[in-house]
Amino acid sequence: MLPKLDPPSLPWNDWDELRRAREDLWLYRTLFLHRAENLTPEEQQKLAGLLAGPVGGELRVARTFLEHWFAIWADDLGNRRTPQEAERRYEIWRTDAAAAKLGPLRRQQQHLDADHFVRLSAFLRNTAWEPTNNAAERSGRIFRHGQHPHVRLRSVTVHFGEIGRPFHRSASSEIGALRNWHWG
Asked whether the predicted pLDDT for residue 169 surpasses 70, the reply is: no
pLDDT band at 100 (very low <50, low <70, confident <90, very high): very high
> Could you tell me the pTM of the whole model?
0.66
* Percent of the chain with pLDDT strictly greater than 90: 48
Within 8 A by CB and 6+ apart from 78, the residues are none
Q: If you ran DSSP here, which 8-state letter would residue 127 be given?
A: T
Calpha distance 166→50 (Å, rounded): 62
Calpha distance 14→69 (Å, rounded): 36
- When comparing pLDDT for 157 and 108, which is higher? 108
Q: Per-residue pLDDT tens for 17-62? A: 999 999 999 999 999 999 988 999 999 999 999 999 988 999 999 9
pLDDT band at 177 (very low <50, low <70, confident <90, very high): low
